[in-house]
Copies of this chain bind each other. A is one copy, B any other.
Amino acid sequence: MVNIILCGGSGSRLWPISRKRHPKQFCKLIGENSPFQDTLLRNNDFARKTIIVTNVEQYLLAKDQTEKLGIKNVHFVLEPIGRNTAPAVTIACLLLCEDDIVLVTPSDHFIKKEENYKDMLNKAKKLAEDNFLVTFGIKPSYPKTEFGYIETDGENVISFHEKPNIKIAQKYFEAGNYYWNSGIFSFKVKTYLDEIKSYSEEIFYKSQDALKNSDTDNNVTKILKPYMEKIPTDSIDYAVMEKSKKIKMIATNIAWSDIGSFEAIYEMSDCDKNGNVTASGNILHDSKNNLIISNNKMITLIDVDDLIIIDTADAILISKKGSSYKIKELITEIENISPDITK
């Protein structure tokens, strides 16, 4: 298989760790590696080659993190501007052979139960070889409103649904045949390119143009801005998945989460007996259910519960757990005072 890793996304809800120039997928959040590195390592056993599609500004970051893991046979596609996932996947596929089986993965999610991951990929590979476009659905553990849903009938997809409100999410959850859309896909290159040509012709041809006029040098393909701008912006879900008749969904029970918020990181991390997620050097006195991410300083707490505490080199965030969605408002305020701290 060839692993196409998509590295878009800014992660402004994870400020002050995630910054414009150092977005969340490249940040150390849980454990020793960044989510981008975890993605590389997770798929390296299955992939004979990796294509990393990233913004040109993050190229050195991505290259450095890849080299640190000693991963070989990597090709970088550098985008001057983002056009969402459909163009990114199309350009990557155009670099490959028609019969290659690809696994498309975002780089900003967590997967915990990796033993189920291998089974999931083996199932997907068979379906991809049979010319299906495979998507992966996660069995919902609660009626979450932050994810898109896939409505299914067995392996067949009835339809894709946008992020629902809580009432609709509850309905999906109770129905039993709705799955969280993981953003992971697998297919044969030819199948995908045929489908995108059928349903989103302009993306296909403009991506082909962009690739023809790119600067390619060894293992780096740099797309030029005038050509990238001509490609329509669209997600792979909209451009292909929702339209194609060749979709199959594999339902999996891997412990999966996007990295949408500090609350999501808390949920996916291992707690101590008081529900705290923290490095071992900190001292949490009479304090429960806190998330602490810090680098160098000792963090000490007395009598505080349910806080998100993030310490970085130039900024500290202390938020009530459940309120980190307000980081967006906070960043607007910061941009008026010290814009550098958001970059």
Contacts and interface: CB of A to CB of B under 8 A. Distances in A.
Interface of A: 16, 281, 283, 285-286, 294, 296-304, 307, 309, 311, 313-320, 323-324, 326-327, 329-330, 333-334, 337-338, 341
A194 B289 CA distance: 61
B337 A300 contact: no
A319 B301 contact: yes
A61 to B, nearest CB: 23
B301 A318 contact: yes
Contacts of A333: 283, 285
Contacts of A297: 313-316
Contact of A330 (B16, B285, B323): B285
A237 B326 CA distance: 54
Nearest to A329: B285
Contacts of A283: 330, 333-334, 337
Query: Mostly helix, strand, loop or mixed at chain A's interface?
Result: mixed
A302 B317 contact: yes
Nearest to A311: B316
A338 B304 CA distance: 22
Contacts of A296: 314
Contacts of A320: 302-304
Nearest to A325: B302
A275 B108 CA distance: 39
A335 to B, nearest CB: 11
B298 A326 contact: no
A300 B285 contact: no
Given A318-B309, A330-B285, A324 B300 contact: no
A324 B297 CA distance: 20
Contacts of A338: 281, 298
Contact of A302 (B300, B313, B314, B327): B327
A299 B285 contact: no
A228 B301 CA distance: 39
A287 to B, nearest CB: 8
Contacts of A334: 283, 298, 300
Question: By CB atoms of chain B within 10 A, which of A298, A314, A320, A337 has the most?
Answer: A298
A301 B326 CA distance: 10
Report the 10 A-B pairs with minimum CB-CB distance, sorted nearest first.
A302-B319, A303-B320, A303-B323, A298-B315, A302-B326, A302-B323, A300-B317, A299-B316, A285-B330, A283-B333
Nearest to A283: B333
Contacts of A298: 314-316, 334, 338, 341
Contacts of A303: 319-320, 323, 326
A40 B329 CA distance: 45
Nearest to A294: B316
A319 B305 CA distance: 10
Nearest to A313: B297
A117 to B, nearest CB: 35
A31 to B, nearest CB: 22
Contacts of A323: 286, 302-303
Nearest to A321: B303
A318 B304 contact: yes
Given A283-B334, A300-B315, 9 more contacts: A285-B329, A285-B330, A296-B314, A297-B314, A299-B318, A301-B319, A302-B319, A302-B324, A309-B316
